[in-house]
Chains A and B, each alone.
Chain A
Amino acid sequence: MIEVAVVHRQGGFTLDAAFTAGGRVTALFGRSGSGKTTLVNVLAGLLRPERGRIAVDGQVLLDTAAGLDVPVHRRRIGYVFQDARLFPHLDVRRNLIFGRRFARDAAGGASLADVAGLLGLAPLLDRRPAGLSGGERQRVAIGRALLARPRLLLMDEPLAALDEARKAEIMPYLARLRDEAGVPIVYVSHAVAEVAQLAGTVVVLSEGRVAATGPAAEILRRADLFHGRDGAEAGTLLDLRVAAHDPGFGLTRLDGPAGSLSVPLLPQPPGTPVRVRVRARDVLIARPPVPDLSARNRLAGRIVAVTAEGSGPHALVEIACGPVRLTARITRQAAHAMGLAPGQEVVAVVKSVAFDSDTIGIAGEVEV
C-alpha cells in the first residue's frame, strides 16, 4: 500500500498530488509536463517536497509536519530511470550486484541467478554497459534495482527511449516482473498501451494534480481523461483466457465473460490469461440480425448510455455485454440516425485486425 500526499513548487509549476494505491502495478499516467517524474523523484527521495507525507506499507518515509525525511539510500525504493544510468566503469554483473551489499539482509530475496533468469540477463553478465543495446540496458537497470531488495520499484518511462521493436521485446519481461518478482511497482508512462497491459491501478496526473484514480479498466474507458490523439486510445479492458488456436487461419480464440473474440495468433498456450484493450473507436454498433460482415467478433449486449462528446462529431455508446461494459465511439450523426437509446439490444462488432501487440497483453492474476 502506497500513501502519498505531497505539495511542491518548482518555478511556475506546482505539484499537488495525493493518492493511495495497493496492488502490484500502479501506473502514473499523464502527458509530458504533468509532473509524473517530479512525483517519482519525490517518492524516491531525490527531491524534497515543500510539504507532504509518504508511506509505503505503513512505513513512513517522509512527513514534513513531523520533520521526518528518510534519506534516499535508506528508503529502499528501487528506481529504474528512463536513461538506465548503468555505471559505465562496471561490467553488467557488478552493476547488478551494486545494491546487494547495501541491502540489510543480503542473504534473503532474489539471487543474481534468479534475476538474471527472470530478465534474460545471463548472456550479458560479462559485458560492459557501453556495448549493450537500449533494451538490454533497461533490463539490466531493472535487475540492478531488484537486487537491492526494494520495498517498492519505481519505473520512470522505462520504454520511452526505445524503438517499437525494443519495446515489444521488453514488454513480456515487464509482465513477468509484475507476476513473479513480488515487489509492488509504480510505473510512470504516457503510453496507453503500456498502462493497459501492466497496470492494476491507474493514477492520472494533469498539470501537477491527480485528475483521476482507480482500477485500470475504469480509467481507460474514460476518453475525457486523455489528451489529443490519446483520446482515440481510450477503450475497454477485457480479461480473457486463451481458448484455442487455429494455426490454419492464423487466429487465436479468446473466451471471457463478455463472449469470445478471435485475434491474430498468439504464442501463449491455452488457459493463459490475457488482457485485451478494445479501443472504443474500433467498435461498430449493429442492430441484430447482423448481416454478413467481414468483422468476425460480435458481442451481443444492451445499450446502457449514449453520451455526446460535447458539440464535437463523436458520441460514446456504453453497451453491457454480460457483466462487461464495452464502449463504442461512433459519430453523433450515426447515433442520431440509428436512434440509439438505452435499453436497446445491439451487437458490438470488432474487427480482428484491431488487435495487435499494442492492445493485447499477458494479464496477471486479476487484482482486487
Chain B
Amino acid sequence: MAYLLARGSFRGRAVLDGLVHLPLILPPVVTGYLLLLAFGRRGWIGPALAELGIVFSFRWTGAALACAVMGFPLMVRAMRLSIEAVDGKLEQAAATLGARPAMVFLLVTLPLSLPGILAGAVLAFAKAMGEFGATITFVSNIPGETQTLPAAIYTLLQVPGGEAGAFRLTLVSIAVSMLALLASEGLARRARLRLGA
C-alpha cells in the first residue's frame, strides 16, 4: 500500500490516499461508529462475515480491527516517506540487471527503506496501544475482551479507590512505550550501519 502511494501513478490515487488517511483526521468516535455500521451484527458486511465465522463486534478481534484501522495511516505514512527516499536510480540499476519489478521491490526497495518501515510499525503500535475512542464506540469496553489500556485506566478512575490500579497501569504503559521506542531505535541504527551511512 505504501509502495503504491509512493511510486504508483494511477487514476484514483488521490482518493485512495484520502481513504487511507481518513482515520487520522476523523474524530476516533466517528471511525468507531463507521466500523460499527460496517462490521456490527446488523451492519453492512458484519452478517456476511459472521456466516464465515468471523465476528468483530464486541470481541477482542474487533478491538484489534479498530486499532489496526487507526494505526494504519501512521504506518503507511512513515513507510511511504522512506520508500520515496529510496533512490529511484538504484531501482533502475536493478532493472537493467534483469530484475523484475517485484524482485526490485523485494531486493532493493524494501531493504533500503527498512528503517522507515520499522519506525512506521512502532508508530502504529503506539497508536494501537493508546486507542480509545474508536474501540470504545465500536466494541465497547468489556474487561478481558475489548478493554484497551487507556480504557482500563479510565474505568479505574471512575470508581472510588481505583487510583492505585490506574497508576500501576500507567507505569505499564510507560514501560511498554519505552521498550518499543528503544527497540525501534536499535533496529533502525543497525539498518543504517549496514548501509554504511
**A residues lining the B interface (CB < 8 Å):** 44-46, 71-79, 81, 83, 85, 87-89, 98-99, 102-103, 128-131, 144-145, 148
Q: A87-B90, A88-B196, A89-B111 are in contact. List 12 more A-B contacts (CB 8 A).
A: A46-B95, A73-B97, A77-B96, A81-B93, A85-B87, A88-B195, A99-B97, A99-B98, A99-B99, A144-B97, A145-B97, A148-B96
The answer to whether B196 touches A130 (Cβ under 8 A) is yes
Encode B54-97 as 1/0 by CB contact (under 8 A) with A: 00000000000000000000000000000000010110111111
B residues near A89, Cβ cutoff 8 Å: 111-112, 194-195
Across-interface contacts of B112 in A (CB, < 8 A): 88-89
When the two chains form their complex, are residues B96 and A46 in contact, meaning their CB atoms are under 8 A apart? yes
Instruction: Judge if B4 is at the interface, Cβ distance under 8 Å.
Output: no
Whether A128 contacts B96 in the complex (CB less than 8 A), given A87-B90, A98-B107, comes out as: no
B97 touches A148 (CB 8 A): yes
Chain A residues near B111: list those with CB within 8 A: 89
CB distance from B194 to the nearest CB of A (A): 6
Q: B183 at the A/B interface (Cβ < 8 Å)?
A: no
From A78, A103, A130, contact of B96 by CB (8 A) = A78
B14 within 8 A of A: no
Q: How far is the CA of A63 from the CA of B87 in the complex (A)?
A: 30
- Asked, given contacts A81-B89, A87-B108, A130-B196, whether A72 binds B103 with beta carbons under 8 Å apart, the answer is no
Instruction: Name the interface size band of chain B.
Output: 20 to 34
Return chain A residues, CB-CB under 8 Å to B196.
Answer: 88, 128-131
24 A-B residue pairs with CB within 8 Å: A45-B96, A46-B96, A73-B97, A73-B99, A73-B100, A74-B98, A77-B96, A79-B93, A85-B87, A85-B92, A85-B93, A87-B90, A87-B93, A87-B108, A88-B196, A88-B197, A89-B195, A99-B97, A103-B98, A129-B196, A130-B197, A131-B196, A144-B97, A148-B97
Most buried by B among A75, A77, A83, A99: A99
CA distance A98 to B97 in the complex (A): 7
Looking at the assembled complex, report how far the CB atom of B99 sits from the nearest CB atom of chain A, in whole angstroms: 6
B109 to chain A, nearest CB (A): 11
8 interchain residue pairs of minimum CB distance: A130-B196, A102-B98, A99-B97, A79-B96, A85-B93, A72-B95, A148-B97, A88-B195
Residues of chain A within 8 A of B195, CB atoms compared: 88-89, 130
Which of B89, B94, B104 has the most C-beta atoms of chain A within 10 angstroms of its own C-beta? Answer: B94
In Å, the complex CA distance between A102 and B104 comes to 11
Complex interface: chain B residues within 8 A of A79 (CB): 93, 96
List, in ascending order, chain B residues with CB within 8 A of A85's CB.
87, 89-90, 92-93
Q: How far is the CA of A145 from the CA of B97 in the complex (A)?
A: 7
Residues on A with C-beta less than 8 A from B98 are 73-74, 76, 99, 102-103, 148
What are the residues of chain A within 8 A of B194 when measuring CB–CB? 89
Query: Which residues on A sit within 8 Å (CB–CB) of B197?
Result: 88, 130
Instruction: Tell me the minimal C-beta distance from A155 to chain B in angstroms.
Output: 12
Question: Quick one: which of B93, B94, B195, B197 has the most chain A CB within 10 A?
Answer: B93
CB atoms of A102 and B96 under 8 A apart: no
- Kindly name the residue among B92, B98, B197 whose own CB sees the greatest number of chain A CB atoms within 10 A: B98
Q: Which of B83-142 contact A (CB under 8 A)?
A: 87, 89-90, 92-101, 103-104, 107-108, 111-112
Beta-carbon contacts under 8 Å, B174-197 to A: 194-197
Q: Point out the residues of chain B lying under 8 angstroms from A45, CB to CB.
A: 96
Q: A236 vs B101: C-alpha distance in the bound complex, in angstroms?
A: 47
Which residue of chain B lies nearest to A129 when distances are taken between CB atoms in the complex?
B196
Bound together, the chains give a CA A71 to CA B89 distance in angstroms of 16
Rounded to whole angstroms, the CA-CA distance of A48 and B138 in the bound complex is: 51
Choice from B90, B92, B97, B103 contacting A46 with Cβ under 8 Å: B92
| Residues of chain B lying within 8 A (CB to CB) of residue A83 | 89
B contact residues around A81 at 8 Å (CB): 89, 93
Complex interface: chain B residues within 8 A of A71 (CB)? 95
What residues of A have a CB within 8 angstroms of the CB of B100 in the complex? 73, 102
Considering the chains assembled together, what is the distance between the CA atoms of A203 and B8 in angstroms? 37
**Within the assembled complex, what's the spacing in Å between the Cα atoms of A281 and B194?**
52
A99–B100 Cα distance when bound, in Å, is 11
Residues of A within 8 A of B108 (CB): 87
A200 to chain B, nearest CB (A): 24
- In angstroms, Cα B101 to Cα A45, docked, is 14
Residues of B within 8 A of A99 (CB): 97-99
Identity of the chain B residue whose Cβ is nearest the Cβ of A148 in the assembled complex? B97
Q: How far is the CB of A137 from chain B (nearest CB, A)?
A: 12
Nearest Cβ in chain A — how far from B193, in angstroms?
10
CA distance A81 to B101 in the complex (A): 19
Residues of A within 8 A of B93 (CB): 79, 81, 85, 87
Most interface-central of A79, A88, A131 (chain B CB within 10 A): A88
A89 to B114 Cα, complex, angstroms: 11
A102 CA to B96 CA, complexed, in Å: 11
A72 and B96 contact, CB distance less than 8 A: yes
Name the CB-closest residue of A to B112.
A89
Q: Give the complex CA separation of A103 and B89 in angstroms.
A: 21
Closest chain A CB from B42 CB (angstroms): 50
